């Protein structure tokens, strides 16, 4: 039977297209982050992580702080929640194909969990909306393939990050996740402010995550007191954790694109964090 496999859309742009080069780059970033890691030991009871999604050269090391925490974890299913950068649509779309491919191989879709999440919902549905060219979901997959053994994927793209959709997703997720499920929220922070201004805006997001205050974060984003292009995924993860009484959070690393490019006039902010028991 013919399988529907979502092919890499940003290999060679956001990360290397060559398998060997990709493995080497991932290994190097993970090694750099583990040498500097402050928080260790809590990753084995991780419920979810928050990670950036820029090109690896800019945000890969920040992402590595979170991925090191879950390295070798016994997760059978990974839910990756992404914003939609290229397509606007109402609601939340789960990929209706069989698998996602990266240069490191194929990750099967967990169709059982996809079916349960979309069952009798008019706003969480199966399709390809948001999945065709989206980088924010795709760039997380090689990291996951490097740090975990075999797992299946629940690929989710939020088309409209309205509180109604984000909370509805969390309600459904709280019904289907178990201790073998990890949730990954993909988000960058502020975009194209000066380094000083970005630090101020991004520190608000950092504080809300540290204090496990997703309601406050939701309001801050709505009233433009801070920025996070994947604010919806972050809030969905934290709301799901809250519904399941897993309310510990730690911010592992924060950086911006200027740290790599040297440009301090217009930067993009990045953060990695973990939600755990």
Residue 43 is predicted with a pLDDT of: 61
Q: Are the C-beta atoms of residues 219 and 213 closer than 8 Å to each other?
A: no
Residue 277 is predicted with a pLDDT of: 87
The candidate with the shortest Cα–Cα distance to 14, out of 151, 104, 153, 142, is 142
Residues 6+ apart with CB under 8 A from 209: 50, 217, 234, 238, 249, 251, 271, 273
Q: What's the topology of domain 5-276?
A: Protocatechuate 4,5-dioxygenase; Chain B (3.40.830)
Phi, psi of 106 (to 5 degrees): -100, 135
Residue 38 is predicted with a pLDDT of: 56
| pTM for the model | 0.97
pLDDT digits (tens, 9 = 90+) for 139-183: 999 999 999 999 999 999 999 999 999 999 999 999 999 999 999
Residue 39 is predicted with a pLDDT of: 54
> Which residues in the chain come in under a pLDDT of 50?
41
Task: Give the CA distances from residue 91 to residues 118, 168, 175, 215, 245, in Å, rounded to whole numbers and listed in that order.
Answer: 11, 10, 19, 20, 26
């Amino acid at each position: 039977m013919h399988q529907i496999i979502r092919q890499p859309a940003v290999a060679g742009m956001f990360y290397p297209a060559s398998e060997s080069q990709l493995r080497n780059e991932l290994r190097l970033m993970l090694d750099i982050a583990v040498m500097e890691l402050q928080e260790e030991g809590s990753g084995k009871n991780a419920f979810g992580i928050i990670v950036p999604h820029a090109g690896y050269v800019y945000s890969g090391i920040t992402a590595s702080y979170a991925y090191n925490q879950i390295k070798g974890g016994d997760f059978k299913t990974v839910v990756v929640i992404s914003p939609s950068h290229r397509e606007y649509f109402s609601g939340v779309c789960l990929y209706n194909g069989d698998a996602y491919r990266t240069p490191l191989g194929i990750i099967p879709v967990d169709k059982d969990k996809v079916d349960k999440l979309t069952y009798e919902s008019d706003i969480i549905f199966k399709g390809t909306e948001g999945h065709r060219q989206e980088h924010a979901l795709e760039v997380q997959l090689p990291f996951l393939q490097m740090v975990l053994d075999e797992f299946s994927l629940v690929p989710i793209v939020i088309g409209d990050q309205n509180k109604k959709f984000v909370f509805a997703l969390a309600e459904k997720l709280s019904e289907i996740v178990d201790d073998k499920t990890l949730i990954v929220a993909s988000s960058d922070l502020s975009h194209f402010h000066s380094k000083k201004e970005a630090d101020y805006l991004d520190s608000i997001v950092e504080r809300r995550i540290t204090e496990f205050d997703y309601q406050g974060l939701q309001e801050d984003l709505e009233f433009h007191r801070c920025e996070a292009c994947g604010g919806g995924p972050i809030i969905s993860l934290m709301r799901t954790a809250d519904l399941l009484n897993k309310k510990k959070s730690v911010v592992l690393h924060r950086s911006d694109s200027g740290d790599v490019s040297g440009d301090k006039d217009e930067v993009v902010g990045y953060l990695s964090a973990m939600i755990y028991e």
